[in-house]
Chain A
Amino acid sequence: MEQIEFDYPAAKRRITKKAHIGVVGSGDMEVLMEPAQSEGAHVSITTSVDGFQRSWKAVFDRFFSKFDGAVRIRINDAGATPGSVMLRLEQAVEVISQ
Chain B
Amino acid sequence: MNQTSTIPDFVSRKSFIEVDGRKRAQSLFDEGTWKELVGPFDRMESPWLPLQGVAPQFDDGCIVIKGKIGGMAAVAIALEGAFQGGSIGEVSGAKMAAALDLATKDSVAGKRTAAILLLETGGVRLQEANLGLAAVAEVISSVLALRPHAPVITLIAGTVGCFGGMSLAAGVSSYVVMTREARLGLNGPEVIEQESGIDEFDSSDRALIWAIHGGEQRVGMGLADALVEDDAEKIKATIREYVQADLLPEYRSQQVELYRDRITALDTSAQIDPISLRREWNNTTTGGLR
Contact = CB atoms under 8 A, between A and B. Distances in A.
B partners with A:
yes
Interface of A: 1, 18, 20, 23-25, 28, 30, 32, 34, 46-48, 74, 76-78
15 contacts: A1-B50, A20-B39, A20-B40, A20-B58, A23-B80, A30-B40, A30-B57, A32-B40, A32-B58, A46-B50, A46-B56, A48-B55, A76-B55, A76-B58, A78-B55
Given A23-B82, A32-B41, A46-B50, A1 B55 contact: yes
B110 interface: no
Nearest to A18: B41
B275 interface: no
Contacts of B50: 1, 46
Contacts of B54: 1, 48
Contacts of A77: 55
What size tier do the contact residues of chain B reach?
Answer: 10 to 19
Contacts of A25: 82-83
Chain B binding surface SS class: loop
A46 B50 CA distance: 9
B53 interface: yes
Given A1-B50, A28-B82, A76-B45, 14 more contacts: A1-B53, A20-B40, A20-B41, A23-B57, A24-B83, A25-B83, A30-B40, A30-B57, A30-B58, A32-B41, A32-B43, A46-B56, A48-B53, A76-B57
B56 A76 contact: yes
Contacts of B80: 23
A77 B53 CA distance: 12
Contacts of B55: 1, 24, 46-48, 76-78
